[in-house]
Structure 1
Amino acid sequence: MKYIVVSVAVVLLSVAVNAQTYKFDFGNGRVKKGYTAVTPDSKFANEKGYGFTAESEVTAVDRGGKTVNDDYITSTKPFYFSVNLPDGNYDVKIIFGDKKGTSATTVRAECRRLMLENIRTAKGKIVTETFTVNVRDSLIRDAKGNIVKAVKLKPREYEYLHWDNFLTIEFNDSLPKVCAIEITPNKTAATIFLAGNSTVVDQSREPWAAWGQMIPRFLAPGSVAVANYAESGEALNSFLSARRLEKILSLMKPGDYLFIEFGHNDMKQKGPGIGPFTSYKKLLKQYIAEVKKKGGIPVLVTSMHRRNFDKDGKIINTLLEYPEAVRQTAKEENVAVVDLNAMSKVLYEAWGPTNSIKAFVHYPANTFPGQTTKLEDNTHFSTYGAYELAKCIVQSIREQHLPLEKFIKTDVPVYDPAKPLAFEQFYWPLSSFMTSTKPDGN
């Protein structure tokens, strides 16, 4: 198969490839010692190992001075900056603001993974924000670092931004102003690996989204990173056969987590011995055993409901006994379970049949470029719906007092799925990449 991996850049200007911290000074002004200059002309090239992607249209503003805070890069559109990095977790420190103006910046990483939400600075103010992000490629290495296998990627995955050895950062919002970036490897952070399907994956294009790409926004930097290995259309067996779990296990260290959420696609499988309390439970237990062998901590997640209401506005269960099989397995194996199935029922019924449409991908024709037909999907989520489901995950961690509770940001309030955020209060500036093609699975 074709490996999605790019050779490590030979030169990174003033930043050595093996340096512990990569420092970039954005703008046309004076470059601070120890930093690499990043100007509007710094287009990505593999031999450099960093730069703006081809679709980025940026400008520089210099306010005069000698620090990294005195100039910045900005744009009226989302722009993307990539850095060549090997597998691992990284702390990313970003300096935002304008000595003579205001700013508003939302930051996403890789495939629209929400890291920093609407960071605003008052006139003349400069702020520094940090997030911890996971970077990966598709290669599986042994304990000595030798490439032994690779994940079996689907054709569409070759276009994803999370299967290469680059960290790609998206700068978005109404007035993004970026002064500097520092990227430092984090060898001690716990990793929360995610295994799942299209309801979990980092959806690469608007208007689709899933809870896995929203949850990093709610976690404190430095101590934990989310590594989302979910993919649309996957079931427990196909995730396994594509070597996705093998890749996770090759990187897992004691104390890391694996959140496991499948069911939407598993329930459609037919044949002898196939079912929620037979093949499905057997595979769940296999995942659990493999994670425990690595010293990891498995957490099961029941599948959220599809948007399917009866005449009284109550959710109809379309997932058969698969959520109950997860609950039973968690009890039998003495592992934690996030009951997203139960929480989503409360959430959807709080929205009701009409308001819940906003949480799913329902849009009239021509809402997005190239979308000539209406979109009506009662399984896959809009960014708003995915955001609210991520809150459910965080709240369950809190209510069960799982060890992960200590990683939740202090500014994240208690969440009641019976009282979701109104759609009108949700803010999401659109990314550049869009599609009208429905994700695999239902």
Structure 2
Amino acid sequence: MEKKGSTKQIEKYRRNERTITWFVHGVIPLLFMLFSCESADQSPAEHWYYEFGTAYDTGAKVQTNVPNQLDSLGYQISGSFIEEEEYYTTDKHFTFWQSIPEGNYRVKLILGDSEGKSSTSVRVESRRLMLYEHNTDYGQIDTVTIIVNVRSALIHGQDSIRLKPREMGYLQWDPYLSIEFTGERPCLKAMRIERVMDVPTIFLTGNSTVVDQDKEPWASWGQIFPVFLKPNVAVANFAESGETLKSFIGERRLEKIDSLIKPGDFLFMEFAHNDQKPGSGHVEPYTSYIEYLMKFINLAREKGATPVLVTSTNRRSFDENGQIINTLDEYPNAMRQLAEKEDVLLLDLNTMSKVLYETLGVEGSKKAFVHYPAGTFAWQRDALADNTHFSTFGAWQLAKCVVEAIRQSESPLKNYLKESIKPFDPAAPDQLEDWKWTISETGSSIKPDGY
């Protein structure tokens, strides 16, 4: 039987399952960032080391020089976890939290069981997939490395991005590194977290089709993308639901990127869904749309980074012949022309998503989007039928499209793809049955901004 209680630091427990709940949301994280975060010129912690299981006194194993203002918070565990002698496991999922300064971190995970098999998946921050079904056999112990980007809304330690009210609960804006362990049988033996300054960063900008969606069952290609990369590059996903090129600039999100981006980095841009709508964010495809995209491109070039244009994913809109209707007008074509003119790498997700959806078919394509009967989830009363936003399966397929476009390019980006990646043809998509995703307990029937 699970015992429930408030969050506490890891202690030596007997071998039984515990559930520890911990809440990090609302305005508290934002206030923490505004008044407690260290400034950019302060020395961050260099590394942290933890061993897990009843054989270890984890607290005594911590190797860190955490700044004083973060000392009292330290680290915590939340969720349902089972503490065995030499590792933590779970039949659901558990999350490790570390209060930590903004930056890129190399996280080394020691996974496996000396007396059994394991299968571990890892998600960080707002459900960002970093490791998928890493399997070990009996007695096999593996060291797996991931690179995680942690950020705050602060700009130069003083001003802030103008976050939307719903963003106050996003884990990507709180002052913690959160690492969620899940899978058929995750076995976490030890973990080392180390600040790294020498890895390039891929900055993602865009809307709800790119953002790290924080609630089930919504997902985007941007939050699946990192799992395909080697542990020598970071992904900083600055996309947000409902964003346009204008609002992204007006809310100072691009200014925040400007404060961080450096030579060797990459700046991805996928905009159009919301930019085409009437209103203050509207831009015309061959004029103002191009002009605003050039602001992003020029910023990247001025900082010695590489701009990357991504044509917008199609909506799930079919004609009577089962062909995708172009609901994005001339915006994808305008981006294609801009890429050719400016010699910028183009990832044509618009074309690839058309092939993918038409291959899946009118009915089959529903599984790539948020289409669920009423009562599919405990928190869902009404049926969900969304033809813009993806399920985790759809996000997985679209992330593969992005990766395939990179793989076929001549861009140095391809050097950051894992060698194990196989070619992907959107005309031969994966089967839904092959996709495994442990449902998080935080879900919502409210559609993300944008359509």
Q: Which amino acid aligns with 1:244?
A: R
Cα pair distance change 1:8/1:319, threshold 3 Å: closer
Structure 1 residue 350 corresponds to structure 2 residue 375: no
Partner residue, 2:154: 139
| Alpha-carbon distance between aligned partners in 2 of 1:101 and 1:369, rounded to the nearest angstrom | 33
Q: Supply the AA of the counterpart residue of 2:161.
A: V
Matched residue, 1:28: 54
**Unaligned ranges ≥5, structure 2:** 1-26, 64-69
Q: Quote the residue 1:66 is aligned against.
A: none
1: CA distance, partners of 2:56 / 2:216: 37
Q: Write the distance in 2 (CA, Å) between the matches of 1:275 and 1:18.
A: 45
Partner-residue secondary structure (3-state), 2:87: strand
Q: Give 1:416's aligned residue.
A: 425
Q: Distance in 2 between matches of 1:155 and 1:391?
A: 32
Q: Distance in 1 between matches of 2:391 and 2:73?
A: 37
| Matching residue of 2:199 | 189
- 2:273 partner letter: H
**Whole-Å separation in 1 of the counterparts to 2:142 and 2:332:** 44
Secondary structure of 1:266's counterpart equals coil
Question: Which of 320, 324, 327 in structure 1 is aligned with 2:329?
Answer: 320
Partner of 1:269: 278
Q: 1:128 to 1:24 in 2, by over 3 A?
A: same
CA apart distance, 1:3: 4.5
Aligned match for 1:78, one of 88, 93, 102? 93
Separation of aligned partners in 2, 1:273 and 1:425:
40
Code of the aligned partner of 1:247:
K
Q: TM-score, normalised by structure 1?
A: 0.89
SS in 2 for 1:152: coil
**Aligned-pair distance for 1:101?**
2.1
Equivalent position SS for 2:172: coil
Range with greater deviation from structure 2 (378-387 or 290-299): 290-299
Q: CA deviation at 1:234?
A: 0.4
Aligned-pair Cα RMSD in Å: 2.1
CA, structure 1 residues 106+302, in 2 after alignment: closer, same or farther (shift >3 Å)? same
Alignment partner, residue 161 of structure 1: 171
How many corresponding residue pairs? 412
Identity of aligned residues (%): 49
Q: CA deviation at 1:124?
A: 2.5
Q: Which position in structure 1 is the counterpart of 2:441?
A: 432
How far 1:31 moved relative to its partner? 4.6
The letter for the 1-side match of 2:200 is A
The alpha-carbon deviation at position 337 of structure 1 amounts to 1.1
SS of equivalent to 2:96: strand
- The 10-residue stretch of structure 1 (350-359 or 25-34) with the greater mean CA deviation from structure 2: 25-34
Pairing partner for 2:126 from 111, 120, 131? 111
Amino acid at match of 2:52: F
1:101 aligned residue = 116
Partner AA of 1:26 in structure 2: F
CA 1:271–1:428 in structure 2 vs 1: closer, same or farther (change >3 Å)?
A: closer
Q: What is the CA deviation profile of residues 299-326 of structure 1, one whole-angstrom value per residue up to 9, with x for unaligned ones? A: 1111010001111111000001111111
In the aligned structure 2, how far is the partner of 1:46 from the partner of 1:394?
A: 40
CA 343–172 in structure 1, closer or farther in 2 if over 3 Å, else same = same
Counterpart position of 1:52: 77
1:138 Cα deviation (Å)? Answer: 0.5
Specify whether residues 149 and 48 from structure 1 end up closer, same or farther in structure 2 by C-alpha distance, changes over 3 A only. closer
**For 2:60 and 2:446, how far apart are their aligned partners in 1?**
45
Q: Distance in 1 between matches of 2:115 and 2:375?
A: 39
* Separation (CA, whole Å) in 1 of partners of 2:149 and 2:252: 19
Q: Look up the match of 1:209.
A: 219
Q: Residue type of the partner of 2:48?
A: Y
Alpha-carbon distance in structure 1 between the residues aligned to 2:73 and 2:281: 55
Q: Is the 8 A contact 1:3 1:138 kept in 2?
A: no
Residue 298 (structure 1) aligns with: 307
How far apart are the structure 2 equivalents of 1:215 and 1:420?
16
Gaps of 5+ in 1: 10-16, 38-44, 63-70, 142-146
Residue 87 of structure 1, CA deviation = 1.5
The alignment's TM-score, normalised by the length of structure 2, stands at: 0.87
Give the equivalent residue in structure 1 for 2:181: 171
Per-residue deviation, residues 349-387 of structure 1 (Å, max 9, x unmatched): 111111111000000001011200000000000000001
Equivalent of 1:258 in 267, 270, 276: 267
